[in-house]
Structure 1
């Protein structure tokens, strides 16, 4: 069998076609359209095309011709090459420094993430979620952040003296923390709420319902939020504070509420009030109280913290502190974006209102 004679033709759309002597045409692999193709189709110079692509000024007529030519040739910008030249990745890392069980269960982290993504998306940035659940994850993410794969980072739930906090300061990456780890330098902004004041306010409200023996389930005491909420609880009780009525648990999760409530009932059967330092913890505590035959709020008043979806799922609905999680995410994204753009007037801290939301659990 004889091979057919053929020639190679390239169309404006960037597709290489093999044209055989018998008239049959087959398409080969697509070729990326270039600035040269746009210039030829628009009848302008490559320099004029580059000015349009880079946001520079050209006449309205030339801009219209170039935009029509871009559509005609099917031009797609080579973002990777452009970013390499600009030394930008147009990506921001979102780091949740929590075990995967808490990450999946805590609706606040999801809300913070969605709020941040909304702002970054409008700015043309991709948010990259980075989960740290082990020491190996910490090492891997540290290499990733140091390698220039992201232009900035938003860090949630950093522990005291976390290696990621230290690394961010060392490499000078534009970053914003949600919350304020005690070792955070003044050069790195943070967004949060007044955990001390909010915990004090809801504990005082619980005390006003004539509860006499009030305990606390206190998670995450290796984080600023956990320590601050315990501080607010202690300040509200004053001389009535009893350290034996503080049950420490590792995480802001339902399991922590179950374990903490069992501890408190063992220590003080006459307990009549509980401050659970998150809504998920409060939900676990209320389950244990039901199993023990304790009515909420008749026998034991329970209050939480966050005003998350957990608060609506409990029976009765949970009295809690409203944490504006989506707005926290939005503000964090705005601050990191401003740093990436070189803004030197980024505030060092942003504290958002966190009012008490009173329902029927106390």
Structure 2
């Protein structure tokens, strides 16, 4: 017969009190950071906590305070994009640093399917988080509406115009796209195309609009390859499509650095030199931009700061009921390297 096993008994506040030789109330005051506890009692309690292995039952505390101590990061991307996109990673780290400073936990929720949307909506309504930060919200996104209906403190990174009016933090995607396309045109390129991606969200639509603004009367819609995601594969497919449409293409604006990296690969396969035959620019100034050969000219957006500011905005709502519904716009800059 196998030996029977039993679950290890969790140490309680009573065990700490008994070990330290103090009352349960004194232990509670130390755990809650309250004054009026002598230095010797505090020292004895801390030693007792270490000895008995006491871990505070946050579930019980949260039930009493009506607070979970957690903020959700909701990312509307396929799982592969969530893992591979360094921009999302930088945003996540910025959020986590700000939440950690405020003693809040980060809960990451990735939405890839309709089933994910239903599951996450139920989770948010269960009181497991005190607020939410939404990245890459799409047209017709049900999560944003669910958050608005729940009156859950929330912030969007980006500012979709077809969603409930939630506080937001973002960048001027349209203006930045216009600026880098102007810079590409100034190098003497005459036949410029774009690999547009993410057109079901504000960032993708605004970058395409900025590209069109820059070219004005020279804009040719047939020279826009529309792709679903900001991925390397989208860049390969888009560049291959543009080369087939017009082999004289000599400039490309890719909607993200990952897309631009894919475009560089397609051009290499086609025997085109960069920047000699074709100038290529991207967007984000992510790790992709520094890995490519040649190094990528791009738009630097402050991904980590976007995350940190979004976290602070949602914490302001949770802790003080403050809401900045007008949003916060952060600055970008063109970083010019050798690809154009």
Q: Is TM-score (shorter-chain normalized) higher than 0.5?
A: yes
Q: Separation in 2 of the partners of 1:211 and 1:33?
A: 71
**Do residues 110 (structure 1) and 89 (structure 2) align?**
yes
Paired residue secondary structure (2:203) = helix
Q: Looking at CA atoms only, which structure, 1 or 2, has the larger radius of gyration?
A: 1
Change over 3 Å in CA distance of 1:30–1:99 after alignment to 2: closer
Aligned to 2:3: none
Number of equivalenced pairs = 335
Higher mean C-alpha displacement, 41-50 vs 174-183: 41-50
Does the Cα contact within 8 Å between 2:26 and 2:37 map onto a contact in 1? no
**Contact 2:76–2:112 (CA under 8 A) maintained in structure 1:** yes
Match of 1:47 in 2: 25
Can you list the C-alpha shifts for 1:286-306, whole angstroms capped at 9, x where unaligned?
A: 111122222111111110001
Correspondence for 2:222: 244
Query: 1:172 is matched with which residue: 142, 145, 151?
Result: 151
Local SS of the residue matching 1:302: strand
* Partner SS for 2:71: strand
Contact 1:161 1:181 (C-alpha < 8 Å) held by counterparts:
no
The 1:345/1:92 distance shift into structure 2, 3 A limit, reads: closer
Contact 2:198/2:227 (CA < 8 Å) preserved in 1?
Answer: yes
How much does 1:230 deviate?
0.8
Partner of 2:284: 306
1:177 match: secondary structure:
strand
Unaligned runs of 5+ in 2: 1-5
Q: Decide which moves more: 203-212 or 42-51.
A: 42-51
After superposition, the Cα gap between the structure-2 partners of 1:73 and 1:104, relative to the gap in structure 1 and judged at 3 Å, is closer
Q: Deviations over 1:89-117 (max 9, x none)?
A: 22222211011232232111111112212
Which SS does the other structure have where 1:209 is aligned?
coil
The partner residue of 2:294 within 316, 324, 328 is: 316
Match of 2:130 in 1: 151
2:328 to 350, 353, 356: 350
Alignment of 1:172-321 (within 5 A): 172-186=151-165, 188-321=166-299
Q: Is the 8 A contact 1:190 1:350 kept in 2?
A: yes
**1:326 maps to which residue?**
304
Aligned partners of 1:284 and 1:34: how far apart in 2? 56
Bigger drift between 325-334 and 300-309 goes to: 325-334
- 1:99 correspondence with 2:92: no
Distance, in Å, in 2 between the alignment partners of 1:265 and 1:75 is 65
User: 3-state SS of the aligned residue for 1:359?
Assistant: coil
Provide the rounded CA distance (Å) in 2 between the counterparts of 1:37 and 1:295. Answer: 72
The TM-score with structure 1 as length reference comes to 0.86
Cα contact 1:283–1:314 (8 A) shared by 2: yes
| TM-score normalised by the chain length of structure 2 | 0.91
Which structure 1 segments of 5+ residues have no match? 1-27
Distance 1:40 1:221, change over 3 A: same
Conserved? CA contact 1:48–1:58, under 8 Å: no
Q: Given the alignment, which residue of 56, 60, 72 partners 1:77?
A: 56
Name the CA distance, whole Å, in 2 between partners of 1:236 and 1:283: 22
2:320 aligns to what SS in structure 1? coil
Residue 251 (structure 1) shift: 0.7
Call closer, same or farther: CA 1:46–1:322 in 2, change over 3 Å: same
Structure 1 residue 161, shift from structure 2 partner:
2.1
